[in-house]
Homo-oligomer: A and B are copies of this chain.
Amino acid sequence: MRQDMIKLKEELELRGLKFTRQRKVIAQKIFSMRKHFTAEELYSMLRKKHHVSRATIYRTLDVLASMGFVEVHDFGQGRRYYESISGKTSHCHFICTGCMKIIEFPSDEIKDIINRMARKHNFTVNRYSINVYGLCEECAKKMKKQPGDA
């Protein structure tokens, strides 16, 4: 945790960027979260206590993403989800369309396949996002009793 903050400070300095109060607060929060979150969620968590503006949230998430501290995912809700990748290996997501719960699963096998395909197409891979949509165990049970969802 502290380690992440040190790395962040170094990365910022390396690029001539500043280690401001807002960036500290935002990074602190992100590094302490385990779930996926949206910019708006982060904003509502920080605005009152820590006086961080919406624009700063968005701008800081961009910075953190470009430096590789967070990963960005598009689960097709018209909004972006972020996650801290500190100490995580890349993984795939099961997204339950019933309750929006996100289950992660490892992806080393898939990663190898992607890299093989990329080489074949001379494509330079930057990042990838594997999203599987469906129903988690609980929601699948509910659907049986009272259907009517997408």
A residues with CB within 8 A of B? 66, 72-76, 78, 80, 92, 94, 96-97, 103, 105, 109-110, 113-114, 117-118, 120-137, 140, 150
Contacts and interface: CB of A to CB of B under 8 A. Distances in A.
Given A128-B133, A131-B129, A132-B128, A94 B118 contact: yes
B134 A123 contact: yes
B94 A123 contact: yes
B103 A121 contact: yes
B118 A125 contact: no
A130 B92 CA distance: 9
A125 B134 contact: yes
A118 B105 CA distance: 9
A150 B66 contact: yes
Given A103-B123, A110-B110, A123-B103, A131 B134 contact: no
B133 A130 contact: no
A126 B133 contact: yes
Chain B CB count within 10 A is highest, among A78, A96, A114, A140, for A114
A126 B97 contact: yes
Contacts of A72: 76
Given A75-B74, A114-B132, A137 B150 contact: no
